[in-house]
Amino acid sequence: MESNVFCYLPVKNGLSFTKETWGMIEWAKKIRTEKTKMIAIIVHTGIQSDELKRLPFDEVYHVKLDIKKWKIADYHIQAFRKIRATISDQKGIYLFSSHPLYHEIAVRASTRYEGSIITNAIEVTWDKTEASSLLVKREIYKEKAHEFVTFLDEKQQYLTLENSILYGTEQYGKPNFVQEIDIEPHILSPIQFLLEEQVDWKELKITEARVVIGIGRGVNNGNTIDSILQLAEILNAPIGGSKVADELGLIPREKRIGASGSTIDSDIYIAIGISGSSQHLEGIKGVKHVIAINNDPSAAIFQRCDIGIVGDYEEVVPRLIESLQAERQGEVNVKHLHIG
Ligand SMILES: Cc1cc2nc3c(=O)[nH]c(=O)nc-3n(C[C@H](O)[C@H](O)[C@H](O)COP(=O)(O)OP(=O)(O)OC[C@H]3O[C@@H](n4cnc5c(N)ncnc54)[C@H](O)[C@@H]3O)c2cc1C
């Protein structure tokens, strides 16, 4: 099938392009064929027109919303509808990121336009046996297996790509045209954005947090874990841990990390008093950066970490807190400097 590739570009807070944006563009380039076009759909909150004019697409359509509207999927759907009506050839593959907002838009758009949808793709290739169809690999059973699926018909095809495969570097081009589409003032959503509140670390799930602390048997020998609680407070990081930590009653069962517990994919994982058994490491496969604190330099966790600190956690953690506080103080001072 000769299909245009439409990218509903992920933009951070509607304002800036990130590695996810460039990653989606790379996937679109892999999927497109010589005869097809790459078309960008951008719903944003104020990206400069200069930036839009140098995106590597054939056509760029964009809608500007204020941030409160941008956070609500209803407005995206209305923007999408208006953009779609402007595009002459609407047939093709529509790429979305699997971020919750974009996922919702993809699902609702596919239902509205009776398209087919495949979600959470981790790889997309052209099916070699059936050259006209896309072969999509997706993870199932909490990433313990994967399956291959394909679209059966040539209706509009909607595909959400897992964030873990969306990484790329900045690249530029010269679109044939960039068109701004105005959706004001006719639209009205029954939903109003009020405010965003940060969830306290005690409530935050270890599978959803950007920073997670993990504790193991090593902290059970110590006098206190007060410093770890303080670290959690400062970083707004929920505390999970090893199977042993769970069995010792240091953490609740649902906060166990590993083969028999949860799999986390935080940006940072701080493992304290954890040896790094294979079963534990199974649960932190998707973590971007691991910091390990252990008093045994030969502990296996040091093989998996980006920063390793050899020492007693009761000495190391308070020093870590001190340096974090000093850094934050520095930030406050800098702000005062700017203001004053
Ligand atoms: C079927 C099966 C499933 C399992 N599933 C899981 C799972 O999902 N998750 C999991 O975690 N485990 C799992 N396990 C258990 C796993 O094999 C390990 O026993 C467990 O991970 C070890 O936990 P730990 O690192 O807390 O303890 P340990 O291996 O005892 O390590 C404690 C570490 O703390 C360090 N330490 C001690 N004192 C200090 C101090 N004062 N400061 C700093 N460091 C210190 C020590 O050097 C040591 O490295 C499973 C096992 C089986 C058989």
Q: What is the pLDDT of residue 188?
A: 76
Question: What is d(CA 132, CA 89) in angstroms, rounded to the nearest whole number?
Answer: 18
- Pairing status of strand 177-180 against strand 59-64: parallel
CATH topology for 211-339 is: Rossmann fold (3.40.50)
Ligand 1 atom closest to Cα of 274? Answer: 25
Task: Please state the domain extents for the chain.
Answer: 4-180, 211-339
Q: What is the pLDDT of residue 263?
A: 93
Measured in Å, residue 260 CA sits from the centre of ligand 1 at 13
Dihedral sign (CA 136, 140, 146, 149): negative
- Going from the first residue of the chain to its last (340 residues), give the mean pLDDT of each consecutive group of 10, the final group possibly shorter: 88 94 97 92 97 97 95 95 90 94 97 93 83 84 84 87 92 96 79 87 93 97 88 96 97 96 94 98 94 98 96 96 87 48
Measured in Å, residue 277 CA sits from the centre of ligand 1 at 6
Contact 229, 104 (CB under 8 A): no
Question: What is d(CA 127, CA 150) in angstroms, rounded to the nearest whole number?
Answer: 8
Q: Cα(first)–Cα(last) distance of the chain, in Å?
A: 62
Which residues, in sequence order, are CB contacts of 258 under 8 Å at separation 6+? 242, 243, 277, 279, 280, 281, 282, 283
Measured in Å, residue 145 CA sits from the centre of ligand 1 at 26
Ligand 1 atom closest to Cα of 277? Answer: 21
Question: What is d(CA 205, CA 219) in angstroms, rounded to the nearest whole number?
Answer: 21
Beta strands in 37-98 (DSSP E): 38-44, 59-64, 92-97
Cα–Cα separations (whole angstroms), residue 86 to 8, 117, 180: 15, 22, 11
Contact 181, 40 (CB under 8 A): no
Ligand 1 atom closest to Cα of 258? Answer: 8
Question: What is d(CA 310, CA 101) in angstroms, rounded to the nearest whole number?
Answer: 41
Over the range 52-61, which residues count as b (16 or more CB within 10 Å of their CB) and which as e? beebbbbbbb
Q: Of 220, 223, 254, 275, which is best to mutate to test ligand 1, by the most ligand atoms within 8 angstroms of its C-beta?
A: 275
Q: What is the pLDDT of residue 328?
A: 81
H helix runs in the chain, sequence order:
19-31, 49-53, 67-70, 73-86, 100-112, 226-235, 243-247, 278-282, 301-304, 313-339
Ligand 1 atom closest to Cα of 222? Answer: 41
Measured in Å, residue 300 CA sits from the centre of ligand 1 at 10
For the beta carbon of residue 212, count every other beta carbon within 10 angstroms.
31
Measured in Å, residue 200 CA sits from the centre of ligand 1 at 27
For the beta carbon of residue 315, count every other beta carbon within 10 angstroms.
13
Which CATH code fits 4-180?
Answer: 3.40.50.620
Measured in Å, residue 287 CA sits from the centre of ligand 1 at 18
Contact 219, 271 (CB under 8 A): no
For atom 15 of ligand 1, which residue has the closest CA? Answer: 243
Ligand 1 atom closest to Cα of 300? Answer: 49
For atom 39 of ligand 1, which residue has the closest CA? Answer: 218
For atom 1 of ligand 1, which residue has the closest CA? Answer: 260
Pocket of ligand 1 (CB under 6 A): 216-218, 221-222, 242-245, 256-261, 273-275, 277, 279-280, 283, 293-296, 299, 312-313
Fold equal for 4-180 and 211-339:
yes
Contact 43, 25 (CB under 8 A): no
